Amino acid sequence: MMDDRFAVWAPAAATVHLVLGDAAGQTEHEMRRGDDAWWRPAVGLSASASATVDYGFRVDGRGPFADPRSRRQPDGVHGLSQLFDTDQHVWADGAWTGRQLAGSMIYEMHVGTFTPEGTLDAAIARLPHLTSIGVDFVEVLPVNAFNGTHNWGYDGVLWYAVHEGYGGPAAYQRFVDACHLVNIGVIQDVVYNHLGPSGNYLPQYGPYLSDAAGNTWGDSLNLDGHNSEPVRRYIIDNALMWLGDYHVDGLRIDAVHALRDDRAIHLLEELAVEVAVLSAAEGRPLTLIAESDLNDPRLITPREANGYGLDAQWSDDFHHAVHVALTRETTGYYADFEPLSALAKVLTQGFMHDGTFSSFRDRNHGRRIDTEHMPTSRLVVASQNHDQIGNRAIGDRLTAQLDAGQLAIAAALTLLGPYTPMLFMGEEWGASTPWQFFTSHPEPELGEATAKGRIAEFARMGWDPAVVPDPQDPATFERSKLDWAEIDQPQHARMLTFYEDLAALRRSNADVTDPRFASTTVEYDETDAWLRLRRGQTQIVVNFASHAQSLPAAPGSVLLAFSTDGHPVVRSNADSIVLAPHAVAVLG
């Protein structure tokens, strides 16, 4: 019988040796190449070579290197791998039947900054908070193994292993189990478009990387070149591992526009097919969400209608339109979103740029969504997320620019609007802590290059280099951790209560979860800066202006209201209301 515990794909290698290590030292074992270019031990090994044994591979005399499919890296990405048997965990989620995306609310979190401890086990203790605000899915920023102690997660190099600093794979199983026990699904953020700058030994084994130029973040994967079939399998098997072995409910796939694939069947479509098969076998929904800069609805068009068949994609246009309406920032890619008509279009058509001219790109951009047939739930929207906060020079949240009423407007448009809402951790209480770009590269030269590159990037955009935090400074990481004590402070507690009320209304009001574009209409006044969003019989009336004003509104009771001064709505007659400055009212 073949010993696949220590199998590795290395098509160009002349020799491969298995290196086993324990307290007594290291031993090397000959491996034999199969016709499929997979190498396996030439002689069967004892079954005792298991959880306590470290292992790696020496390829043509180089190494030893970690297993590309390593499930655990106890000594970091430059160390040996360790076998991890996912079947040893006794799952307690047998009653869990999954959760569909439509009608749900997502909560995006980064394990390292969600709690002071920065671990998966510590995050479990905060799950009651998530249930109290109506979270249906928690979306976890990448947890795969990277070099260093902390970063955002997008510098991963061993995609099958869970970062040891978070607790490793066993803690990840405990976290998913705990989420399911409180009826929260888990969406894992995965990165298949590039690899991190330190600890990537995949090229030592085979043609994992594309011959074409890399992308903005690093080397691209070989998805369509010579010997690319096993590379695609490497990615798809990783996705199936999260969804199957770790009981995850969905994947958020990072920057799919950077996946270089010229095959007739794109990797994303192939992935969607295999996930659909696994979903049928598991008997629970499995969701694929793309992050895309393309504004291309083919990603979320069903395969039978010649699309890729993904379940949803992020819509940055929503963020941009809400951000500009509230902050009045109009630099860079915000320029095209200056008028309220941009927000109105996004709320009713999905994309602002749907074949229209983008001044930021200096070309036409996007494609129109078929609003007659596409459900609105396939667009995931947020007024804040890790990218839109963290990629600002100082990582400042909306809290740093807006008053409480404006924050409430953003919350109402996100949670009661037509799309699938996503919150960024701490948003629900108006967290004052920033979310800054942080790294911990152990290599001094890499850390210095990262810091200088970050400063130079924002200097070109007009920011004072002196205010840009050093990503390598541990204080930058510490500043980005949530301060949970804020919840007990009056101004934060009031915001949290409003989020809880919005979530409760969302769960009880079928108007705001209606997935039809036709159920949404918008009226607005560009000059007076107000907007009314109708979701069926429910109205969300917004005053963006800094003065009180009388706004048209059909008769109905006030379901929710919020303003900076705490007194937002005064009924004046049957067809209008007086709304305080920077206030929102929900009528039904």
Give the residue ranges of the annotated binding site for substrate: 252-257, 316-320, 386-391
Q: Which residue has the tokens 């510098």?
A: 155
CA distances from 116 to 75, 107, 458, 483 (A): 23, 18, 29, 8
Rg of the chain (C-alpha set): 25
Amino acid at 554: A
Read off the tokens for 22: 């324990």
Catalytic, out of 189, 291, 336, 470 = 291
291 noted as active-site residue: yes
Q: Angle at CA 486, nearest 5°, toward 440 and 140?
A: 45
Cα distance between residue 478 and residue 475, in whole Å: 5
- Residue 367 to residue 293: CA distance in whole angstroms: 12
Q: Tell me, what DSSP letter sits at residue 141?
A: P
- Copy the structure tokens of residue 325: 């309406």
Peptide bond before 64: cis, by omega within 30 degrees of 0? yes
CA distance 429 to 416: 17
* CA–CA distance, 322 with 337 (Å, rounded to integer): 9
Helix axis angle for 404-416 and 490-508, nearest 10°, is 20
Tokens of 302: 């069903």
Catalytic annotation, pick one of 136, 254, 354, 427: 254
Task: Give residue 476's identity as a one-letter amino acid code.
Answer: T
- CA-to-CA distance for 206 and 200, rounded, in angstroms? 12
3-state secondary structure of 29: strand
- Are 534 and 520 in contact by the 8 Å Cβ rule? The answer is yes
Coil/strand/helix, residue 530: strand
How many angstroms separate the CA atoms of 339 and 328, rounded?
A: 10
448 is known as an active-site residue:
no
Note the Cα 93 to chain centre separation in Å: 24
- Mark the binding-site residues, compressed into ranges: 252-257, 316-320, 386-391
Closest among 98, 97, 69, 63 to 81, alpha carbons compared: 69
* Catalytic annotation, residues: 254, 291
